[in-house]
């Protein structure tokens, strides 16, 4: 797509969520950056740590931490597994715990895994068109349970921030694993 010719802060390809324009920022997460997050450490070490697990593009029209603003982003998660566990995002609570978020699935198939502060964990199916409201005080992660890329779009408050440490230390209360060709949410303990 060429640079935006219409008004607004960027151009969105609504079929893929792809953002185009000078304001769009991008980050890439490789397998190596996700050490310790997948269950099967042996399988993890056998894989190419440069494998791209997901990419995020986002728009931050106000500085990070601004009260009252909104951010917008698109995440593309590659298909694949570490052992039985599907490729997934790191997952986080918002640093300001009570900040909520919308996720919408554009393409692919997977699960939005959510966990409250008491570690109760549940999941919602993501498929093209599904819209998900993530309440405040709920950690969130997406796993790609399909054979193709999973593309989702998100909108969250600009003062939400991200607390990754809590997930790095304790993980979620359940993992999305492949069992006999099905994806199953399996409690961790």
Q: Which stretch binds Zn ion (CB under 5 A): 52-60, 74-82, 94-102, 109-117?
A: 94-102
**Measured from the CB atom, is 34 or 177 closer to Zn ion?**
34
CB of residue 183 to ligand F6R, shortest distance in Å? 18
Q: Strand 52-59's sheet: what is its strand order? A: 25-30, 52-59, 70-77, 150-157, 101-107, 131-134
User: In the bound complex, what is the minimum distance in angstroms from residue 94's beta carbon to Zn ion?
Assistant: 6
Of 24, 11, 28, 139, which Cα lies nearest the Cα of 77?
28
Residue placing its CB nearer to ligand F6R in the complex, 46 or 188: 188
Minimum distance from CB of 92 to Zn ion (Å)? 6
Which residue lies nearer to Zn ion by CB, 81 or 91?
91
Which entry of Zn ion, ligand F6R, none binds 85, CB below 5 to 8 A by partner kind?
A: none
What residue ranges bind ligand F6R (CB under 6 A)?
Answer: 56, 73, 75, 89-92, 101, 140, 154, 156, 160, 162
* Contacting residue, 24, 88, 101, 176, with Zn ion by CB under 5 A: 101
The token duo for 1 is 């797509």
Q: Which residues contact 161 (CB under 8 A, 6 or more apart)?
A: 64, 65, 94, 95, 96, 99
CA-wise closest residue to 71 among 188, 156, 144: 156
Minimum CB separation of residue 93 from ligand F6R in Å reads 10
Please tell me the distance from the alpha carbon of residue 107 to that of residue 22, in angstroms, as a whole number.
Answer: 25
CA within 13 Å, CB half, 152: 28
**Alpha carbons 57 and 28: distance in angstroms, whole number:** 9
Strand partners, 29: 54
- Residue of closest CB approach to Zn ion: 101
Cβ closer to Zn ion: 136 or 146?
Answer: 136
Binding residues vs Zn ion (CB under 5 A): 101
């Amino acid at each position: 797509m060429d640079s935006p010719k219409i008004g607004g802060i960027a151009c969105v390809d609504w079929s893929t969520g792809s953002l185009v324009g000078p304001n769009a920022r991008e980050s890439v997460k490789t397998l190596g950056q996700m050490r310790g997050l997948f269950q099967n450490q042996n399988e993890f070490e056998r894989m190419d740590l440069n494998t791209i697990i997901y990419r995020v593009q986002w728009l931050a029209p106000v500085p990070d931490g601004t009260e009252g603003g909104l951010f917008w982003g698109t995440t593309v998660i590659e298909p694949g597994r570490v052992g039985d566990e599907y490729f997934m995002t790191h997952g986080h609570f918002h640093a300001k715990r009570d900040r909520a978020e919308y996720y919408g699935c554009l393409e692919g198939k997977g699960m939005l895994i959510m966990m409250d502060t008491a570690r109760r964990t549940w999941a919602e199916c993501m498929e093209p068109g599904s819209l998900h409201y993530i309440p405040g005080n709920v950690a969130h992660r997406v796993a790609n349970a399909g054979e193709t890329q999973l593309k989702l779009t998100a909108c969250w408050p600009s003062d939400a921030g991200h607390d990754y440490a809590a997930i790095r230390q304790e993980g979620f209360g359940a993992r999305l694993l492949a069992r006999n060709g099905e994806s199953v949410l399996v409690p961790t303990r």
